[in-house]
């Protein structure tokens, strides 16, 4: 049996933890430690320690609301066991419906950003205009200045991208060197076709 939902009584961080809890429940985007410390008017190290207390209280399996470190900050989300109920009540967010072209474009921007549409087209071999427009509309990428040489608008991923994909930061993406070494998908499909012919 889990202990009742309350912080350890008498903990000197108790008051601060309650303040952080309040800030996080009001916020609609992840809050970095610095921002929480400024709002709570307290020391960032104490804030981190207090966040530990809050995270312990709001964790999977213990609470319907879960505190997570995501997109460079701290934010509440629904627990996974409540996901089905949430799915019945809320529409599937448009950020989750992405075509193959959009996903490739997103990967390029996440790894090589800030980069421009011509950069993306160069790698993918097809124009990136509609894919980029769709990702901007979904809030997953945003403009980030212009290319110094060509003057084309450059794009980078947004904090929302990290949040939707559940990333603490872009550094959680797999290393580029570890990708692309395995078998080529098209060759596999060609082989499959050849096999079907001989069968």
Partner 1 sequence: MIVRELDLDLDAFEGPFDLLLTLVLKDELDLRELDVAGIVLAFLERLAEREELDLEACGEFLVLIAALLELKARGLFPDEAAEIAELEPEAAAEELARRLAEYRRMKDAAAWLRERLQREGDRFFRLGPAQLAARVETPLAPQDPEQLAQVIRLLAVEPPQVSLEHMALRFPPVLRFLERFRAVLRRRTRFDFDGEVGRLPRIEQAVAFLALLELRRSGEVTIDQAAPFAPIRVARAGEEFMNRDERTVAWNLRSA
Strands, E, within the chain: which ranges? Answer: 65-70, 73-78, 115-116, 141-146, 153-157
Q: Annotate each residue in 1-40 with x if it binds partner 1 (CB under 8 A) or - if it does not, as one string.
A: --------------------------xxx-----x--x--
CA 63 to CA 24: how far, in whole Å?
15
**Burial grade of 46 (CB within 10 A; 0-12, 13-18, 19 or more):** middle
> What is the C-alpha to C-alpha distance for residues 7 and 73, in angstroms, rounded to an integer?
22
Q: Give yes or no for a contact between 153 and 146, defined as CB atoms under 8 angstroms apart.
A: yes
Q: Taking the complex as a whole, how short is the minimal distance between the CB of residue 18 and partner 1, in angstroms?
A: 20
List 11, 15, 34, 130, residue binding partner 1 (CB under 8 A): 130
According to CB under 8 A, which one of 13, 51, 75, 132 is a site residue for partner 1?
75
The site for partner 1 (CB under 8 A) is made up of 27-29, 35, 38, 75-78, 80, 82-84, 86-87, 90, 93, 96, 98-101, 103-104, 106-108, 110-111, 121-127, 130, 160, 163-167, 173-174, 176, 179-180, 182, 184-186, 189-190, 193, 196-197
């Amino acid at each position: 049996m889990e202990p009742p939902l309350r912080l350890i009584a008498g903990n000197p961080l108790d008051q601060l933890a309650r303040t952080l809890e309040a800030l996080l429940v009001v916020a609609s985007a992840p809050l970095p430690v610095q921002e929480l410390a400024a709002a709570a008017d307290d020391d960032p190290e104490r804030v981190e320690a207090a966040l530990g207390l809050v995270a312990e209280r709001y964790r999977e399996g213990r609470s319907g609301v879960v505190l997570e470190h995501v997109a460079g900050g701290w934010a509440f989300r629904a627990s996974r066991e409540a996901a089905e109920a949430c799915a019945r009540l809320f529409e599937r967010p448009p950020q989750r419906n992405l075509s193959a072209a959009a996903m490739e474009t997103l990967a390029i921007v996440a790894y090589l950003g800030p980069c421009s549409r011509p950069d993306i087209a160069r790698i993918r071999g097809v124009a990136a205009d509609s894919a980029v427009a769709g990702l901007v509309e979904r809030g997953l990428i945003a403009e980030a200045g212009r290319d110094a040489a060509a003057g084309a608008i450059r794009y980078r991923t947004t904090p929302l991208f990290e949040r939707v994909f559940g990333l603490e930061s872009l550094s959680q993406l797999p290393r580029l060197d570890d990708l692309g070494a395995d078998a080529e998908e098209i060759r596999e499909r060609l082989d499959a076709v050849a096999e079907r012919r001989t069968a």
